[in-house]
Chain A
Amino acid sequence: MTDHPEKPSDEDQVNWSRRKFLIGMTGLAVVGIGALFGRSAIAQVAEAVTGTPVNSGVINVYTRDYSYTPSRMTWRVGDQISMVLTNKSPNRFHEMMIGRGFDTTPSEFGPIKTQFHEDFWDGVHVMVSEADAVDNLATNNAVVTCNVTPHPWLITAPGNGNFSPTLMPGGMIRFDFTVPNKPGTWYYGCFVQGYRHYEAGMQGTLVILPA
């Protein structure tokens, strides 16, 4: 191997700072470990600082593997909302439940969350105005009117779990409703596939502001 002809002689060599190097390496390590183990805390702080605007009118919600976009929403009581829920996953079914608390079932891995204990949609009037590739719609105690005929999906009666549309890959559903007078913090999540989706991060926070 030949040396580069421009290779400087020894007296030209000036080294970079040792202190800068040590401080920089420590800083990078701290940032890295913080990002790895504190990512949800960092995300929460960022959300708390930036806040989320009040959503109204047409709201697009996307389901992915395994997250919602957006994962944080704010609605105001009495607003008219058209929610368009679209499944962006190329190969998996996803659903969206909204509620608080959990129903659980025991298992070797500790209690497994099966659904929300309190269903946000109880008694709410919901009109389904568009739908495509919907696997099923569990109505529970919501008052559902369906404008799409014939029903391309299965509607299950009350007693089969929380109100939740389950979408096939690429599927969408649009439903219109008035935000009910249930102010406070609610959560949404996907409990499909042995609740693994929820555990993998497919969850979001919904804040309902009073009118």
Chain B
Amino acid sequence: MSRIPVADLPLLSQASRRIPPVFKGFIWGLVGFLALNAIVADMSQETPHQYVTQVSVVFGWIGAMLGWVLGTGTWEAFMKPAFGRMSSWQEPSGWRRYFGYSTNHKVVGIQYMVSSAGGFVIAGIAAMLMRIQLMEDHMWLFQFPQQYLSTVGIHGTIMMFSVGTVFMVGGLGNYLIPLMVGSNSSAFPRLSGMSVWLVPFGILTVAFSPLLGDWTTGWRGYEPLAQSDADGIIFYYLGVFALLLSSLIVALNLTATIIYKRAPGLTWNRLPMYAWGMLAVSLLNIIWIPEIMMTFVLGLLNKIVPLPFFTALGSPLTYLQLFWLFGHPEVYIVVVPALALWMEIIPVMGRKTLFARQWGIIGLVFVMLFSGLVWAHHMFPTMRNQEILPFSFFTEMISVPTGFAYMVAIGTLWKSKLQITTPTILVLMSMFNFLIGGLTGLFLADPMVNMQVHDTFFIVGHFHFTIIGGMVFSSLAALYYYLPKFSGRMYNETWGKFGAVWVFLAFNATFAQLFVIGLRGMNRWVPVYPQYLQPMNFEISIFAILLGLGFLFNIVYILRIWVKGPVCEENPWKSKTLEWQTASPPAEHSFASVPRVVSGFYDYSDDCKSPSAPQGKIGIADT
């Protein structure tokens, strides 16, 4: 029988000499890179000796990832106890706990959101650089086209894999889902304490990819095009691999949490809509992320070995098939949480029972099921007619379950006593934008139109309306809606609405023009274009910069309120879902006693009763 040696305990109070865990992560990551890179580079037979080679940088990156994740606290808090030694981890208090390992799902959720917002800013800066280049019709900001294309790739990659996939799933999901299902922790808290650190690591890997050389493939890493790129593409594959690994762990964690950690009485019939959305998204992630991770590994091997998987010796179209097989479900990974969030916010703001709830769930689940059937519409120009038609059919059909979710939102709005708050108008804006994105999507599903506008700015307009319009506006709605939950503080409605209107106007002024300029002949992927498109591009760039400033305003305003806004009541929206039945912000353990759910959450007809009761007091709410 072993005992914890008492003599060691005073060591714990020497924490004042500790360096911040993120710095330890940087140092360990650097050591890990240098060590593994040196070992592999040393085995190389090449003369003259090169310290960084294609192969050594891959192994060095793995060393850096291990060092970074272990250094941010996983070593003390997780690995040492796993080896039977004493944990020397002390979770700091206050804001410092967000800069190290934590098993608290609320801390992890906020870490995901902040990392994701950091990615949003970095990718947004890349977008601004692109728009500045496009203000003129010749090369002027960038020296070479490859630099522009690298910027396009960094923008798209970080936006898709660290914002679109992560913010509402890793961020809001980790924070809200345990609360929504009435649990004090997620199913795998230590795993998510580690996985969250892969997000900043992946973002930085992609952002620093130009150090190895420019790459031209965009966020899709297309082979065999990537074969003729410089080595920066290696960091694309590796960075995305880290981000996807993190999302995969989130998906496993959320699925297990929703299935196994539900409070007593929280049946599938009573499960909140956002939890349904997270379940659908997590299943999508569990199906498709391993597939695309393996594709990226093949792409990497294709580059560094090299193996002829996707070259002319293999099949050049294989990569496109494999990529879009994941790439289209990815769009729904981004959008399904937004649809679920509408159904969460609208009943509360409208004080009206959620309309046709079961059809909303059917919509979310069928969007998830159909999303794997439509990938080939991204490749219409490479296909024969008889191959195109079924994919055109499925693509148009996916608008039906999407419509279910839409109709649930509209049905709930119908004759409701809608409070026009910032989250409300952001949800309405999101519905408006997403509708435009969806309707233009119908054109794109049509092979004849698709052939005409393929790879023009029409497509760019379409998916930005879907993803910024749908997901980013909903994320902003969620941020304003849950701000009292996260911080216990309330924003000012005037400033909130000002920020919302600002981004809405700038967004529509920017991206609505992309449809027009696309039809006029503006192609994607080119930093240089015919002169007649220059005035319109210039104008779009001005609005794009205004949009960037609008997002910056909202981020800064939300952070400011988070830190020093006026304190508000615990459930300002009078919502009935479980996450609002705790203190705001929630204590270390959200629920002092496990709640017992006695009815659904969306019945606002009586306008007062809470659907849950603490254990042992069933009678109060059970009438």
Q: Which residues of A contact B (CB under 8 A)?
A: 1, 4-8, 10, 12-16, 20-21, 24-25, 28, 32, 35-36, 39, 60, 62, 65-66, 69-70, 88, 90-92, 108-110, 193, 196, 199-201
Contact = CB atoms under 8 A, between A and B. Distances in A.
Contact of B12 (A12, A28, A91, A196): A12
B213 A201 contact: yes
A14 B213 contact: no
A18 B15 CA distance: 14
A69 B50 contact: yes
Contacts of B22: 21, 25
25 contacts: A1-B103, A1-B185, A6-B87, A8-B12, A12-B12, A14-B15, A14-B16, A16-B15, A16-B20, A16-B92, A20-B20, A21-B20, A21-B22, A21-B96, A21-B99, A24-B20, A35-B211, A60-B47, A65-B230, A66-B230, A69-B50, A109-B528, A200-B144, A200-B214, A201-B213
Contacts of A91: 227, 306, 311
B146 interface: yes
Most buried by A among B81, B230, B231, B527: B230
Nearest to A89: B306
Given A6-B12, A13-B93, 8 more contacts: A7-B87, A12-B90, A13-B92, A14-B13, A20-B19, A91-B306, A193-B228, A200-B213
B213 A109 contact: no
Contacts of A92: 228
A88 B139 CA distance: 32
B564 interface: no
Contacts of B16: 14-16
Nearest to A22: B20
Nearest to B208: A36
Interface string B84-105: 0011011011101001000100
Contact of A15 (B4, B96, B189): B96
Given A1-B103, A5-B4, A24-B23, A36 B210 contact: yes
A201 B15 contact: no
B283 to A, nearest CB: 24
Contacts of B138: 109-110
A28 B26 contact: yes
A4 B208 contact: no
Contacts of A88: 46
Interface in B523-562: 527-528
Contacts of A28: 26
A87 to B, nearest CB: 13
A28 B139 CA distance: 31
Contact of A109 (B9, B15, B145): B145
Most buried by A among B12, B99, B204, B227: B12
Contacts of A200: 144, 146, 213-214, 230
A16 B19 contact: yes
A36 B147 CA distance: 12
B18 interface: yes
A77 to B, nearest CB: 24
B211 A13 contact: no
A196 to B, nearest CB: 7
A88 B211 CA distance: 20
Contact of B13 (A12, A110, A196, A201): A12
Interface string B40-51: 000000111010
Given A1-B103, A24-B20, A32 B208 contact: yes
A3 to B, nearest CB: 9
A108 B15 contact: no
B207 interface: yes
B511 to A, nearest CB: 26
Most buried by B among A5, A35, A108: A108
Contacts of B47: 60
Contacts of B144: 199-200
Interface in B1-59: 4, 9, 12-16, 18-20, 22-23, 26, 46-48, 50
A109 B139 contact: yes
A132 B12 CA distance: 66
Nearest to B4: A6
Most buried by A among B23, B99, B306: B23
Nearest to A108: B528
A108 B51 CA distance: 38
B340 to A, nearest CB: 27
A34 B475 CA distance: 32
B20 A66 contact: no
A14 to B, nearest CB: 4
Contacts of B12: 6, 8, 12
Contacts of A193: 228
Nearest to A9: B12
Nearest to A21: B20
Contacts of B210: 36
Given A110-B138, A196-B228, A13 B99 contact: no
Interface string B183-203: 001000110000000000000
A30 B198 CA distance: 22
- Which 4 A-B residue pairings sit nearest by Cβ, starting from the closest? A14-B16, A14-B15, A4-B87, A199-B144
